[in-house]
A and B are shown apart, each in its own frame.
Chain A
Amino acid sequence: MQRIVARPWFRRRRVGLGWRPVTWEGWLVTAVAVGLAIGDLAAVRGSGARVPIFILVLAAYVVVALVTGGAGAEPVVAEAGDERVVPAEPADALARRPVRRVPLALPGTPVLVVEHLTKQFGERVAVDDVSFAVAAGEVFGFLGPNGAGKTTTVRMLGTLIAPTSGSAVVAGVPLTPANGVEIRQRIAVMPENPGLYLRLTVTENLEFFAGLYGIEQPRDRLTAALEAVNLHTRANDLCGDLSKGLRQRVGLARALLNDPAVIFLDEPTSGLDPVATREVHGLIDSLRDRGVTVFLTTHRLEEAERLCDRVAILNTSLRTIGRTDELRDRLFHKRLMVTTAAQLPNAAQVFAGLPGVTGWQNSDSIGYELAVTDAKLAAPAVARALVAAGADILSLVEERHSLEDIYLELVDDDVEAHRR
């Protein structure tokens, strides 16, 4: 069990005698002591009258080094059994903490409203007239090829860059230059590169961001965030020593610190191995369970299909938006694929007039593609008709289109055109 403890100002040297300052307070005390001692020596210059003061300074320094063994302000995570362990906050504090919600972010109501958002860099249009809304608690996927404008959109909504035109309301706050601080207080953005300070430990990184969010008692929040991403055992490791997957987890822990109304995750699994990817997926699932709104940009279509309630496909302009099954219905005709043991002697007669069936064609000698309006209505009727016609049915399945099919349908032509 990991507990929060106060870091001592000095540590006993492993080799040799004495103590070593380990915090800035320790170094300050050391500097003052050295300064006083040298000053005293300089002042006497041979008289010897003030040498006792010099001795007193050294004695005081030693006393401070001894006394501050358990004092200090820097929280770290230490192993259980440490004598200085203080009572810790509940480990699942973050999970039990009610997710902070801004007044406009009631469940189901839009927490993100984007209208006609456009961004131009010189003559190049990066994002063109994009409009959508994301409900509170929704996991919203933002898909598109490289250069489609996904990251630019996230940067605009995160107040990093200004839109050329259009408007947006982010976490209940209108996107204006004057509202930048207020918006950034209510959201969290995790870029593709988690952007950690590699010479600092995990705890120090999180402490820094907690300070920027103005979290007054960060220790329990830090512990909870680390527990949420299963990193409590690595709290004192330097971020530079962590694998890419672990760094992504630290980035996610950082994104949880301020209980954001919306978390923007920009390609969170980019470059991760399958195990680390699955862990990140689990974390996003847990965010959904806690009611956090997640805005996920990704290249990985299976990831979006698995995690997102709705997806938008962007290629500079918004190509489509909706639930995956809605998009499937919108873009593709529904089909039933029928395979029989032998060719039907009069297929036209068998399939004619069946409810829900609007047409048919041979896919091969014993296979038939039936265009249907409603597969649930048509499939039983087709099965009955085939049995009545004496056909032996080998298979009767609805043709399923993946998100990849939808994506390619919408984006592939653009990409090809761009390449040409």
Chain B
Amino acid sequence: MSLGRIGAVVRKELRDFRRNRFLIGTMSVMPFVFLISPMITLFRIPASAPASLVNRSVGVTSLLLFVVPAVIPPIMAAYSVIGERDQGTLEPFLTTPIRREELLLAKALAVFIPSVTVAYGIYFVFAISVRFGATHVVSAAVWHAPQMLAQLAFTPLIAVWAIWVGIAMSVRARDVRVAQQLATLASLPALGVTTLITFQVITPSVPLAVGLALGLLVIDIAAWRLVSQLFDRERLITGARAQAARTVV
């Protein structure tokens, strides 16, 4: 595993993202769409509101904030490999000494860095706004240490899962749009557990949070291995599945 090669791909991807106006626009606007509505709801909750209302509203908002790391990364990740093929850069890229694990890890990192930065940034803006704009009961519910820790811990774990789903679609699909649509849908189950917790179907607790986090971590690592197995240079270049050589060459 060469850190130099991984670094080269990450730098290139970030430069490319930075100059892609469509991507920048999507990444800038979409999170705010998710943020504005729940913030207005929270700002309108009076100080005398019952604790159950406050907790439910804060829970729904937290869920919406998890949409950012679940939805943005797969759109970017789904483009990462098939997008290279679309713009004709995949073949020269694959004729360099990069290994498939390096390529996939670098592509994943290049999506992870901006999407988690955006997700944390949005959460940061949200938390600060609540602190200054909402009543103290809402502020206390949001600035609750376990709540914040869960948000900080689950954001990257959900993002990584969504990224691997996106890349898996990217290495197998034949069309960018198909890959992006499938990736977005496939990443949504990650929100299921969060939804169950938010609506108190599952009672949140520290052991549950730690267990879920560890489970997601294991799934993320397994997903990397699985996606590595799905990566097939021949299929990506020719559209045909590689056949086992009849004679060893």
Chain A residues packing against B (C-beta within 8 Å): 24, 31, 35, 38, 41-42, 45, 120-122, 155, 158-168, 174-176, 181-182, 184-185, 187-191, 193-200, 204, 207-214, 216, 251, 254
Contacts and interface: CB of A to CB of B under 8 A. Distances in A.
Nearest to A187: B95
B80 to A, nearest CB: 13
B4 interface: yes
B249 A167 contact: yes
Interface stretch (B86-94, B183-191, B194-202, B217-225): B86-94
A206 to B, nearest CB: 11
25 contacts: A42-B128, A42-B132, A121-B240, A122-B240, A155-B237, A158-B95, A159-B95, A162-B245, A165-B247, A167-B249, A176-B248, A181-B97, A184-B95, A185-B97, A188-B95, A189-B91, A193-B91, A194-B92, A195-B87, A195-B89, A199-B15, A211-B9, A212-B5, A213-B97, A214-B4
Given A155-B237, A164-B245, A214-B2, A200 B95 contact: no
Contacts, number: 131
Given A158-B95, A162-B245, A191-B91, A204 B233 contact: no
Given A24-B14, A120-B243, A191 B92 contact: yes
A24 B18 CA distance: 10
A209 B96 contact: yes
Contact of A190 (B88, B92, B97, B243): B92
A181 B12 CA distance: 21
From B94, B124, B245, B249, residue with most partner A Cβ within 10 Å: B249
From A199, A204, A251, residue with most partner B Cβ within 10 Å: A199
A166 B240 CA distance: 20
Interface in B192-249: 233-234, 237-238, 240, 242-243, 245-249
A210 B8 CA distance: 8
Contacts of B242: 161-162
Given A38-B124, A121-B240, A211 B246 contact: no
Interface size class of B (residues with CB under 8 A): 35 or more
Interface of B: 2, 4-5, 7-9, 11-12, 14-16, 19-20, 87-99, 117, 124, 127-128, 131-132, 233-234, 237-238, 240, 242-243, 245-249
Given A163-B245, A212-B97, A213-B96, A198 B87 contact: yes
A45 B132 contact: yes
Nearest to A28: B117
From B8, B127, B128, residue with most partner A Cβ within 10 Å: B8
Nearest to B242: A162
Given A31-B117, A193-B91, 14 more contacts: A35-B124, A38-B124, A42-B131, A42-B132, A45-B132, A122-B240, A160-B94, A166-B247, A184-B97, A191-B92, A195-B90, A204-B15, A209-B96, A214-B4
Contacts of B4: 211, 214, 216
Given A45-B132, A122-B240, A189-B95, A208 B246 contact: no
A82 to B, nearest CB: 22
Contacts of B99: 181
Contacts of A160: 91, 94-95, 233-234, 237
Contacts of B87: 195, 197-198
A181 B243 CA distance: 20
B12 A197 contact: yes
Nearest to A255: B92
A73 B36 CA distance: 39
Contact of B19 (A41, A164, A174, A199): A199
Given A167-B247, A208-B12, A162 B234 contact: yes
Contacts of A41: 128
A198 B83 CA distance: 13
Nearest to B89: A195
Given A155-B237, A161-B233, A195-B92, A38 B12 contact: no
B16 to A, nearest CB: 5
Contacts of B92: 189-191, 194-195, 209, 251, 254
A213 B96 CA distance: 7
Contacts of A163: 245, 249
A187 B95 CA distance: 8
A175 B245 CA distance: 12
Contacts of B234: 160-162
A204 B127 CA distance: 38
Contacts of B98: 212
Which 6 A-B pairs rank lowest in CB-CB distance, beginning with the nearest?
A: A211-B8, A212-B96, A165-B247, A189-B95, A195-B92, A199-B19
B249 A161 contact: no
From A41, A212, A254, residue with most partner B Cβ within 10 Å: A212
A120 B2 CA distance: 34
Nearest to A31: B117
Nearest to B248: A176
A204 B90 contact: no
Contacts of B2: 214
Contacts of A158: 95
B240 A195 contact: no
